[in-house]
Structure 1
Amino acid sequence: MNDTGMAPPARLFEMLDGAPDDATMLMAGDRAVTYGRMRRDSACLAARLKRLGLARGDRLAVWLPNIPEWLTVAFACSRLGVAVAPLNVRLGSQEVGFLLSRAACKAILLAPAQRNGACVEALRGVPPEDRSALRLVVTLGGTEETILDGVRQTSFDALLADPEPDEKADAEVADGQPGDVSLILATSGTTSAPKLVQHTQERNVRHAGDAAAAVGLNEPGTSLLLGIPMCGAFGYTLAITTIRARKPLVLMEAFVPEEAARLLAAHGITHMLGTDDMLDKILSVVPEGKPFPALRMFGHANFTPALTAILPPKAEAHGVLLRGFFGMTETLAMFAAQPADAPLERRSQGGGRPVSPQAVVRVRDPESGALLPDGEIGEVEVRTPNAMIGYMNNPQATAEVFTDDGFLKTGDYGLRLPDGGMIFVSRIKDVLRIAGYLVSPTEIEEVILALPGVTVCQTVSASCPAGVRPVAFVVMEPGHGLDEAAALAACRARLAVYKVPARVFAIDAMPVTDGPNGAKVKKNVLRDLATEWMNPQAAAAGAGAAR
């Protein structure tokens, strides 16, 4: 039993039980949604969707921004035992077709007016064979236009409408079970085809409870501002964690720094989590001093190497407590959190102690396979009862990512700390192997980013005539040109000789792929560019042979 005298929830919709009907659950713009309203609407929606043919084991794609209806359908699907497959509103036909096909989605919910109709056009652009399982299109906002010929269509409002006087009321639905898959998320796929990660109801709920305790959302008077999309593991977990704690959740349909700053102050928000560049942008549009006296913490993931040294003192100067986090889609993002009472040097780094009391971290030498002692860098492996159950229809990939004793291989370099926590170093695929040494690209990038006019820097390794060497790419501020000689001189002055890039190239923009937490740089594209530009004669010969 919990402190309310009720059994802990094991299904997502059970997280709504026990909260007062008039307690505020969500705020979005000028709308407020109470727990009572969410319970009624999600129960009604579940019954109507069941009448339309959705059943336990089916999948429904949710193609919406951060609005209350996103969560209404999530809780309705929990009642049905239907898995939600979220879609980023910025996706195109190819990405949408991939998820609809691989997840065999039976229904999709979208807002036809979203992005001036771009989502509708993208859906129509999906080849029929990739949406062959689709039987129902639900529209939010209403439209008389047929979205897809031959596919049943109804509106969200119609599904929530009161029954006619002579119509029999639908029975309440509670078909979903704790072990049912409730969430299907696509991995980023920056270097390979995306995989579909499956999470179950009971693991979602348990993880939300663990995360709420770890970040202090269970404390009185707390609230959270959500500025990252719920279509990704991080945003989704933040939403259900706040609801699990029965605290107000303020939704941003899209992140805008000025609006985030206004909401933090206006609502007296105590918690916000996101990427490091989000906080940097917020602090850049507010006055000096401490503009957010109610804010107890900003939890961040390190996405921007340029901010590694800049953001921590900037946050401290504005009275914002930084806490680094670590996770991945396979662990519902928030696997670990840095302690709130740790020194800034630790709190500003990715990593932390596991949020689940049952979770364990260990580090393995990727070459010898030996487990490493505390303080030594290797591949981080984690075991948690809240991990995914596997990749959908991909037993080989599932077997490859889990060890025989149940640890998940993260694909990240890090080190374990004596208190059982860890420090994230970098993605293994991003680490450079130079002259027999492992080199973190961040070391090189921090030197180059300190030079005038450099806004972005990424470093990869490339095969050169003289062997494998680091190669750096930069994006310059408008009006600034790259002084490559100065950049190389700075690296020689501050770095070991084998870490000095062979070349530094200026490009107009980094090649990126969009994700729910922001854009991710395509390192594989940079590696191909570096290899080509460092070996122009070989590239020319290959082009000639192709002709």
Structure 2
Amino acid sequence: MEAATMRYTTPALDIYDNVWDSIRHWVEAAPDLPAIDQEGTVWSYGRLGEAVRTLTDFLTAHDVAAGDRVLFVMENSAGAIAGMLAAMRLGAWAIPLNARLSVREIDEIRKHAGPRVTLYTTAVSKEAQAHAERHGAREAPSLKEAGLLYAPADGTVHRMPSFGPARDRVAALIYTSGTTGNPKGVMLTHGNLLFIAGRSSHARLTTPADKVYAVLPISHVFGLASVFLGNMYRGAQLKLVSRFVPAEAARSLAEDGITTFHGVPAMFSHLIGLAASSGQPVKAPKLRYMSVGGAPLDLALKQRVEAMFGLPLNNGYGLTESSPTVCMTMIGKERDDDSVGTLLDGVEVRMVDPASGLDVATGGVGEMWVKGGLVMKGYFRDPARTAEVLTPDRWLKTGDLARMEADGSLYIVGRLKELIIRSGFNVYPSEVEGVIVSHPDVSMAVVVGRSRDGNEEVVAFVQPIPGRNVTAEALDEFVSERLAPYKHPSQYLIRDTLPATPTGKILRHQLQQEAVGL
């Protein structure tokens, strides 16, 4: 019987203690229900359950237990999903890493995390294959169907103690680059991920009849909590895609019965561009719900997307440390402005004046502080940075400037920090600057963001060492070997000197204005 004509019991909110339990509900209640479609190969929930059990046995045989870390060098794949669920089932911490990160980035995070086992999605990613070969990864019969290779720990592994309620134990460790460029691991609990999975799927009215175009990387918190877990929480099927290709996305929307599409603004911008170049709108006859996140949404892009698809483009806001979704526009209450919607149930916010530390009046701009079951446990092995963003009574300081109107609608105004969000990924200027300055001919570098077509570009201002010459081409080659592609500057502006105050502090705001004007 087709999923659309069958009746299922919708799982209630906050009833599970382990992420795996929310998926096991469908494995046991509807094993024949389609769960994952990857390149035409469909796994039912029953088959997914079998894969999880197989990978659980593999991890157990390699001494993985609660409190251990399991690292995934990955692109979207059914094997990665099964492996992460197996790790969480055991109480281990799943660590998803984008395989397109550089050698330096992967190895620094691997050293910091101390995984007992690393798994590589070699069947779908040549980058994962390259990292696997470099780490001496091996084959195993029980990993073949999942398309994975594995490497055991390359040093002493310290198992983290597991205590307290099961929902409060860490399920996933999501790495972002810190403002110093050092790895920063966000500890998200089972309760954090289930809080978002349940509420986001409830708000989207997800059912087993939905088929979701799942192209957002599961190595990113948006793809993990909102797309993967959020949709499977209510029995939806994932059309799993490892990389976004506009023409292929358009074909799938037109032909594959896609009902739900989650993306970052740049993806929607590419689809608009595809339609403009072909002279034909992208068709999506079954599409009922679209959402965007991961980066600021330009109102003009929102209007063009809605005009083409004839549907509201639902906006939202969140950050890795909040698992991620704080607020979203709701079905039936869509907006024609750039609001990021209203709070999810169970979420509290404050708007705090950064200077005084006092709450601002309704409609006033302040730093958004967030509280609720979505707030991370902290940063792994970094109590100092945890204390900087988490108050003793568990308010999370987001670093984002926002306002809330009397009707509860939220608007993001800007960022206290100079974070750049490119294609949904965080780019920290200090990390890119550090790599550029490590070039032997560079004295100083300043990296800023520039909005273009619903996305943000990375722009680098570079001051060479006096008497030396450096070209944009040489810098691009140098950076390409050391940073993931989404962190690469799109433009290098080489200057004899960079503007500075008498004390030598670079006038970043002046350079930001120059970049915007180019």
TM-score for both structures, normalised by structure 1: 0.69
Matched, 1:283 2:272: yes
Q: Secondary structure at the match of 1:268?
A: coil
Q: Secondary structure at the match of 1:358?
A: coil
TM-superposed CA distance for 1:138, in Å, is 6.2
Residue identity over aligned pairs, in percent, reads: 23
**Bigger relative contact order, structure 1 or 2 (CA pairs below 8 A, ≥6 apart):** 2
TM-superposed CA distance for 1:302, in Å, is 6.2
Partner of 1:325: 316
Q: Is contact 1:233-1:332 (8 Å) kept?
A: yes
Q: Is contact 1:312-1:344 (8 Å) kept?
A: no
Q: Which amino acid aligns with 2:405?
A: L
TM-superposed CA distance for 1:534, in Å, is 3.3
Matched, 1:335 2:302: no
Q: Distance in 2 between matches of 1:135 and 1:115?
A: 14
Q: Which runs of 5+ in 1 are unaligned?
A: 127-133, 153-175, 432-443, 463-474, 476-506, 540-547
Q: Is contact 2:370-2:395 (8 Å) kept?
A: yes
Matched, 1:534 2:499: yes
Q: Is contact 1:366-1:379 (8 Å) kept?
A: yes
Partner of 2:63: 53
Matched, 1:382 2:370: yes
Q: Which amino acid aligns with 1:361?
A: V
Partner of 1:519: 486
Matched, 1:300 2:321: no
Q: How many residue pairs are counted as aligned between the two chains?
A: 434
Q: Secondary structure at the match of 1:410?
A: strand
Matched, 1:34 2:23: no
Q: Which amino acid aligns with 1:291?
A: K
TM-superposed CA distance for 1:275, in Å, is 0.7
Residue 176 (structure 2) aligned to one of 182, 187, 190: 187
Q: Secondary structure at the match of 1:187?
A: strand
Q: Secondary structure at the match of 2:398?
A: strand
Residue 401 (structure 1) aligned to one of 389, 392, 395: 389
Q: Which amino acid aligns with 1:376?
A: G
Q: Distance in 1 between matches of 2:41 and 2:33?
A: 14
Q: Distance in 1 between matches of 2:152 and 2:188?
A: 33
TM-superposed CA distance for 1:182, in Å, is 1.2
Q: Distance in 1 between matches of 2:140 and 2:109?
A: 17
Q: Which amino acid aligns with 2:310?
A: G
Deviations 1:464-497 (A, max 9, x none): xxxxxxxxxxx9xxxxxxxxxxxxxxxxxxxxxx
TM-superposed CA distance for 1:29, in Å, is 0.8
TM-superposed CA distance for 1:342, in Å, is 4.1
Q: Is contact 1:226-1:272 (8 Å) kept?
A: yes
Q: Secondary structure at the match of 1:97?
A: helix
TM-superposed CA distance for 1:210, in Å, is 0.9
Cα distance change of structure 1 residues 430 and 79 upon mapping to structure 2, 3 Å threshold: closer
Q: Secondary structure at the match of 2:222?
A: helix
Cα distance change of structure 1 residues 147 and 402 upon mapping to structure 2, 3 Å threshold: closer
Q: Is contact 1:43-1:79 (8 Å) kept?
A: no
Partner of 2:94: 84
Q: Distance in 2 between matches of 1:379 and 1:6?
A: 29
TM-superposed CA distance for 1:244, in Å, is 0.3
TM-superposed CA distance for 1:529, in Å, is 7.0
Partner of 1:107: 117
Deviations 1:257-278 (A, max 9, x none): 1111122222322221121110
Q: Is contact 2:316-2:328 (8 Å) kept?
A: yes
Q: Secondary structure at the match of 1:412?
A: strand
Cα distance change of structure 1 residues 121 and 424 upon mapping to structure 2, 3 Å threshold: same
Matched, 1:43 2:53: yes
Q: Distance in 2 between matches of 1:426 and 1:397?
A: 22
TM-superposed CA distance for 1:404, in Å, is 3.3
Q: Is contact 1:225-1:249 (8 Å) kept?
A: yes
Q: What RMSD, in angstroms, separates the aligned Cα atoms of the two structures?
A: 4.1
Matched, 1:12 2:4: no
Q: Is contact 1:360-1:420 (8 Å) kept?
A: no
Q: Distance in 1 between matches of 2:84 and 2:404?
A: 36
TM-superposed CA distance for 1:20, in Å, is 0.9
Deviations 1:318-375 (A, max 9, x none): 31321111011111222211233446433x44x22122x1101211111121211121
Partner of 1:217: 206
Q: Distance in 2 between matches of 1:120 and 1:328?
A: 30
Deviations 1:195-230 (A, max 9, x none): 100111232123210111122224x73231111110
Q: Distance in 1 between matches of 2:62 and 2:384?
A: 35
Deviations 1:263-309 (A, max 9, x none): 2222322221121110121233245457213222321126377x543
Matched, 1:208 2:185: no
Residue 416 (structure 1) aligned to one of 404, 419, 431: 404
Q: Distance in 2 between matches of 1:315 and 1:343?
A: 11
Q: Distance in 2 between matches of 1:199 and 1:461?
A: 36
Q: Which amino acid aligns with 2:270?
A: K
Cα distance change of structure 1 residues 460 and 259 upon mapping to structure 2, 3 Å threshold: closer
Q: Distance in 2 between matches of 1:387 and 1:422?
A: 18
